[in-house]
């Protein structure tokens, strides 16, 4: 692949403007991505000043993530986006990554998640019941508050009620700032300036401060447990020496809590928007949820993936959320780096090559998804995410796939159930919702008006 065939891919300003008449905020141009990559399995591109190879073929993406994953590490763009933790699950060391993934798994595995469901319902109801008929709700902000309260209230246990509330409130402020953090281009450079980064830094420091207090209390009170925090503190080597310092435990907890909320809050915002745009879907959703929900069992999902094509997902709630995740995958772009000279399909890549792929583009491939821009849960009656490619990867796949996937599915279902039991939500007349590809793929601004059932 010669450098003559390369191109530059960077944020640009779309030609249209919002309903207010102000220009759109510069954003990553998906239409330009599609144009540059059309008909190509991969193409050299410059992404945010970094030379990379952009991969569009879902079979090759699966090779990167699963088949040849040992030959790929974290890419340059991934490092630039990472600002939470450099130990534990985000360590460059694969052994350490797997170890801390195993520590988190007992708290997010499917069987454990089912124990959380009553608390999830209660927490979501507490927030949703505070809405008022006809009063505009900032949905993304509310979803941050709800998802953060659920994660803290279930994964970190044993804290005094007031402390639990403080942790969840501070986490929601950090999650909100993280969601809106630009990843690439001039916007990211501006956001990294000391003045512009003040809110994010302050939110992160405030969360760390309260977690430091919780960790100190646990260290000073032998026998006291606090769920995942205690698991990190108890982690030790064969001689009983603690593997993480208190500061590193705090860093890992901040990473885990933030990762568990920013993506789910964005997806839930899109789900409520999609429902408002497709009101005919409310009735089948509500009926199924009233009967006990869509049944997001991780073992069942794995069995379904192994079935033959054409045997699609039967639960309507599940199909609805799968379609939300298809159109609006929260982790919309990813980067890996070749650790050695590799062959990607028929293409030789030298060691050090940054390889970029976008779940947004993979999920909107017209060859896999006819009429890809149409929101159609029933397409999943005949489609199934396959084992042969990466055409549907909202949670990633392989050893680096999202460890909290069972937790996320159940949380989405519970929040959807609570909201639709009490309210119908609508955007205002003429309100245009634009896509913001930043840390997550979220609505630029989503204001909705609740009306009681």
Cβ-based neighbour number of residue 220 at 10 Å? 8
- Please tell me the distance from the alpha carbon of residue 234 to that of residue 147, in angstroms, as a whole number: 26
Can you state the angle between helices 246-277 and 161-179, rounded to 10 degrees? 70
- Please tell me the distance from the alpha carbon of residue 122 to that of residue 111, in angstroms, as a whole number: 19
Tokens 């030790």 sit at which residue?
Answer: 236
Backbone angles phi, psi at 42, to 5 degrees: -155, 160
The candidate with the shortest Cα–Cα distance to 298, out of 404, 396, 148, 377, is 404
Residue 419 tokens read as 């909201």
The candidate with the shortest Cα–Cα distance to 272, out of 428, 437, 427, 440, is 427
Three-class SS state of 279: helix
- Please tell me the distance from the alpha carbon of residue 273 to that of residue 262, in angstroms, as a whole number: 17
- Please tell me the distance from the alpha carbon of residue 106 to that of residue 113, in angstroms, as a whole number: 9
DSSP string of 114-142, one letter each residue: HHHHHHHHHHHHHHHTT--TT--EEHHHH
Residue 385 tokens read as 């995410």
Contact 93, 260 (CB under 8 A): no
User: CA-based angle 112:322:274, to the nearest 5?
Assistant: 115
The verdict on whether residue 250 carries a ligand-binding annotation is no
Task: Please enumerate, as own/partner, the contacts of 234-243 that have beta carbons within 8 Å and a separation of 24 or more.
Answer: 235/103
Which residues neighbour 415 within 8 Å (Cβ) at sequence distance 6 or greater? 120, 124, 143, 146, 147, 150, 268
Which residues neighbour 59 within 8 Å (Cβ) at sequence distance 6 or greater? 345, 388, 389, 390
Tokens 């124990």 sit at which residue?
Answer: 115
Burial group, residue 356, by CB count within 10 angstroms (0-12, 13-18, 19+): buried
The candidate with the shortest Cα–Cα distance to 328, out of 426, 437, 407, is 437
Contact 212, 167 (CB under 8 A): no
Three-class SS state of 102: helix
Give the annotated binding-site residues.
402
Give the annotated binding-site residues for heme.
402
């Amino acid at each position: 692949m010669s450098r003559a065939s390369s191109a530059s891919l960077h944020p640009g300003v779309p030609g249209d403007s919002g309903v207010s008449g102000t220009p759109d905020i510069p954003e990553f141009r998906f239409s330009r991505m599609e144009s540059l990559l059309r008909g190509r399995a991969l193409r050299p591109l410059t992404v945010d000043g970094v030379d990379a190879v952009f991969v569009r073929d879902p079979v090759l993406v699966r090779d990167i993530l699963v088949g040849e994953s040992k030959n790929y590490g974290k890419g340059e763009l991934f490092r630039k986006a990472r600002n939470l933790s450099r130990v534990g699950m985000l360590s460059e060391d694969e052994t350490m990554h797997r170890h801390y993934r195993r520590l988190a798994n007992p708290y997010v595995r499917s069987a454990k998640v089912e124990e959380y469901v009553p608390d999830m319902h209660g927490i979501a109801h507490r927030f949703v019941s505070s809405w008022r008929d006809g009063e505009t709700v900032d949905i993304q902000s509310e979803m941050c508050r709800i998802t953060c309260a659920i994660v803290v209230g279930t994964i970190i246990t044993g804290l005094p009620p007031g402390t639990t509330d403080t942790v969840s409130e501070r986490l929601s402020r950090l999650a909100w700032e993280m969601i809106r953090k630009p990843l690439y281009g001039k916007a990211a450079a501006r956001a990294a300036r000391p003045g512009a980064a003040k809110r994010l830094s302050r939110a992160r420091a405030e969360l760390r401060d309260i977690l430091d207090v919780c960790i100190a209390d646990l260290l000073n009170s032998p026998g006291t447990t606090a769920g995942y925090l205690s698991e990190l503190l108890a982690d030790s080597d064969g001689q009983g020496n603690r593997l993480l310092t208190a500061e590193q435990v705090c860093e890992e907890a901040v990473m885990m809590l933030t990762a568990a909320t920013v993506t789910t809050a964005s997806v839930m915002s899109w789900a409520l928007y999609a429902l408002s745009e497709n009101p005919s879907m409310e009735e089948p959703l509500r009926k199924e949820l009233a009967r006990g929900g869509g049944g997001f069992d991780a073992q069942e999902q794995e069995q379904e993936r192994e079935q033959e094509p054409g045997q699609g997902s039967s639960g309507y709630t599940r199909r609805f959320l799968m379609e939300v995740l298809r159109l609006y995958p929260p982790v919309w772009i990813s980067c890996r780096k070749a650790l050695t000279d590799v062959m990607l399909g028929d293409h030789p890549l030298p060691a050090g090559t940054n390889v970029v792929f976008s779940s947004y583009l993979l999920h909107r491939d017209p060859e896999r998804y006819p009429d890809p821009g149409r929101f159609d849960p029933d397409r999943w009656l005949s489609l199934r995410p396959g084992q042969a490619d990466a055409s549907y990867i909202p949670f990633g796949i392989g050893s680096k796939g999202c460890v909290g996937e069972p937790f996320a599915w159940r949380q989405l279902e519970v929040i959807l159930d609570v909201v639709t039991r009490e309210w119908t939500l609508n955007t205002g007349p003429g309100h245009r919702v634009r896509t913001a590809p930043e840390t997550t793929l979220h609505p630029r601004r989503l204001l909705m008006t609740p009306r009681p059932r």
